[in-house]
Structure 1
Amino acid sequence: MEGVTAKRKRISKKNKKAWRKFSDTKDVEDFLDEKRQEERIGTFEHVPDEKLFEIDVTKQDVKEKILTRRREKFLRPYRSLEVLQPSTAVPDPITKRNKGKSAEERKSAFVKKMEERKRLAGRWANKHATILQNRSLSDEMRKKRIKRKDFDTDLWAETPASGPKEGVDANWLRKSAYVHVLANTGNRMTLRPKTMSLKTSVLDPVEAPHPGLSYNPSYQDHRELLTKVVDDEMKIIKEEKHLKRVITDMIPRVTQEEVEENWMKEMSQGLPEVKEPKVEEDSGVEEDKLDTGVVGNPIVTRDKKKTLQKRRKLREARAELIQRREAKLEKKKHSDIERVKLLKKELSKRDEKLKMLQEKRERVKEAKVSQPKMLSSHKFEPPEVDFNMRDEIAGNLRNVKPEGSLLKDRFKRLQERNVIETRVKQKMKRKYKRKVIEKASHKMGWEPKGYH
């Protein structure tokens, strides 16, 4: 029927869920969408005409405009700080916020006044001390003042030294100034590496050779060197015999068949043994011998309840055990009191033993000072002594036979002084990849089965 409107349906909006479901918020959402659109593309309502329209101007005005743009570009904030700027034009809904006071703002007026008094008093004391110091300095400068005279000496005629002059404080003068002056005056300073001043070992850079190594040694020195060489060789032979006895001789030599048999035994450990069934000759039927023994769980009976007499005896035994323990502890205390002298002797022996161990550690520590350190995974091996037999001694430098290598000796000495790490010569062996080329006349055109 025309003119009849539908009856408005009343809906309860008691809860938040119902309120959100049946409330019409389309007008609010449309308004917010318009605002977001304006934020994205902008509006022309509040933009002045000077920014929308451009008036034709002369060259002078163009120059001013360019300068203005450059000035605005220069004053524009950095791109890296744009993250700190708000990304929307919607104002903050909470305009008033609680701001906490700093420690300086929380101070009372009385405290601020007292701090100001202390600051002024300290400033006056410092100023007074500075005045007295300046007066004393001025008196000293007045005494040390150089009288006016004629400067007839040539400062550049003297050869500059390679370091700072005497009386010059090198703390405020940089080293680059000396380097610059010396480089331009013809006397360049040679700069040593800092690592050369480091003390890596107590040993001398070059060790004095043994007197028995001379081309014309004395009989005693030569015999002493010979004894040392023999002792070193005996140590090497003894070590080789020890390794042969505890390693080579302890490992038995077996044949290939024994190796395979031992391997089979080791691999079959834990596996069940398969026994072949016995077959009778007459019937040919296998007999299985079954065990007829009966295996079952033991009979379980309920423990009898303890009687009062048994409980009383257990209680008395427990009390007696505690009493014996206490009596034993008291007896031990009395015996410890009587053993005071013996304990003192034990403590004194213990102190002597600790003192001996400390002295031994000190001796070991002092011995390690002159020994090379482990700077790599290889242990330092001292070089062999270059020794000449009695018939090889020349007696003069002209006929002497050179022994050893000076370069190798210096290299070993650097390792012994911890200047460089201990190194071992590496054997480089190149493995060339074999290249296989198939001739065109041998190509079959198809790949055989099982060929890879």
Structure 2
Amino acid sequence: MAVKKKKHVSKKNKKDWRKHCDITDVEEFLEEQRLDERLGKFETKPDSELFVVDTGGDLKDEEKPLSAKQKKRAKLTEVPKCFEILLPSSKVPDPNKKRNHVNPVGSKPTALSKLTEKRRLEKGVYQKKIEDARKNRRLAVQKKRKAKQIRQTFDLDLWGKDMPKSKTIPSVLEEEFVSSEAKLHNVLPDQRLRAKPPLPKTVVTRAAVETPHPGVSYNPTFQEHQELLQNVVQHEQKMMKREQHLNRVTTKMFKRVTAQEKENQWKEEMSEGLPKPHNPADDPASDTDNEYKAINPPVKNKKKDHKARRKQRERIEERERLKREKINKKKITDIYRLRKLETSITKREKKQQELRAKRAIKHAEEAATAAPALNAHKAPLKEPDFVEPTQLSGDLLHINPKTNLLRDRFESLQRRGALAASKIMMKKKRKLKSYFKPGHKVTDQEIEKYINKTQAQKIGVSH
């Protein structure tokens, strides 16, 4: 056998090292070590676990095999198969040696459990459980016995005409040259699993195809075309007004500032409350001839004489008198205005009641004709269709259709409530950010190329 020449490969990178290095012996050793940890080593196991001493010998003829009852009793002491997976099979010791020990069920009862058992016996809890179990067993036996009762009357005609049939062959297939098995196989059952719900009344009553405006015709009259034009103008004005409102409350609320102004504002906001640096040029005391001036000049305690105090008291009394006169005058005018206020309140209440009644009638009409709410989305509103006067044609040969028939029918089904209103979902294109992975193999040309690419992307974004 010729010895295969060893192939020398590069093991510079981690990927090549993993690919060309044989580590099967290491993995086998580690796997064997883990198995020994779980099951224990062969040398450390006692002879009682490895060998079994056969003291019984061969089965004698006089020995009778165990009966089914004895086998069942012998299995009572064994652990059930379903609980074997819960038993510890690993020989690895518990890492937490100070784990709290929990007594298994059926172990020595505690003082608390003895006390609870005594209280339950005194209350008669166990006696009630025994009585309920007896009653349930008696009911189960009666139910089983009733189910096993044999019918005594045999008056049912199996071949009679009144026999219920789940499947019947239709009259169309009776004379056809088809086997009866195939006929019965293709016939649907009479009773379905779920009955098809009827359509809502609003869907049934609403017309499938809405009658368009007469001005949409390929050869309309002048008055009908002008009427349709006015409707389209009003619709466009409403849309423009809505767009202006949205622009006013969103975009125009925020003014645009330059980068320098933004930086100055940021500096001013961040330095709010901080002590400003002292500038000797702004000090007003520097203009004087170094003359000392107190910050708080002395105040003279000049007392008021009797005349000044009397004048002050008279002014206060006059102000209070005018205030009381104004309040009394307002009371008198309010008394005379009571009748006028009463008439205005009654008029307002009457007007509100009329508006409320009109609103209720309008809501009732809308609810009667509204399409069923099949989901959270609203059905798209019908846009007014209009043909410009220059594109009007007097015949059907040269007419230019403006709408898509399939889209029109689909939106009509949504407006009528036959289909749930859908919403156009646009997938956003994710901007992938590129990263540069440096390494010892990277050349100067690749670095320069990456820098030029990033600069071009920044210029494109700013424009």
Higher Cα Rg: structure 1 or 2? Answer: 1
- Using structure 1 for the length normalisation, give the TM-score: 0.43
- Using structure 2 for the length normalisation, give the TM-score: 0.42
